[in-house]
Amino acid sequence: MSILHVIYDHLNNEDLSIDFIAKEITISKIQLYRKLKQITGKTPTEFIRSVRLEHAARLLKTTHKTVKEIMYSSGFSNKAYFYREFQKKYNKTPGEYRGIENQKVTK
């Protein structure tokens, strides 16, 4: 199983970490760090967070789930952290993002 498959398959697992991934694909944490940095240009932590935020943004656009449900299904367990990181990436809160995306669909 590849690094990316493990990440995508376990995205909603809040315990997804470099340790978890390394154990799943049976390589050292150092090898994992180097490979992921080479593939994505990001550290494992940065990449996991980015994928989780993209997943949350996609769910905000395509579902009627609450922000809290989306937060948990994207692997976040801390609301303040989720909001801060989402706003950092998209320059909007999750609620603002959903409103803007819904306006685009109705126009």
CATH code of 19's domain: 1.10.10.60
**For residues 5 and 8, what is the distance between their CA atoms, to the nearest angstrom?**
5
Encode burial over 13-49: b for 16+ CB neighbours within 10 A, e otherwise: eeebebeebbebeeeeeeebbeebeeebeeebeebbb
C-beta atoms surrounding 79 within 10 Å: 13
Task: Report pTM.
Answer: 0.88
Indicate whether 87 pLDDT > 90.
yes
Those residues with Cβ within 8 angstroms of residue 103's Cβ, 6 or more apart along the chain or in another chain:
none
Q: Tell me the pLDDT of the chain averaged across its residues.
A: 92
**Domain boundaries, position 61:** 3-106
| The residue type at 104 | K
Q: How many domains does the chain have?
A: 1
**For residues 80 and 85, what is the distance between their CA atoms, to the nearest angstrom?**
9
**For residues 40 and 73, what is the distance between their CA atoms, to the nearest angstrom?**
23
DSSP state of 77: -
Indicate whether 105 pLDDT > 90.
no
Q: For residue range 12-60, list pLDDT tens digits in order.
A: 998 899 999 999 999 999 999 999 999 899 999 999 999 999 999 999 9
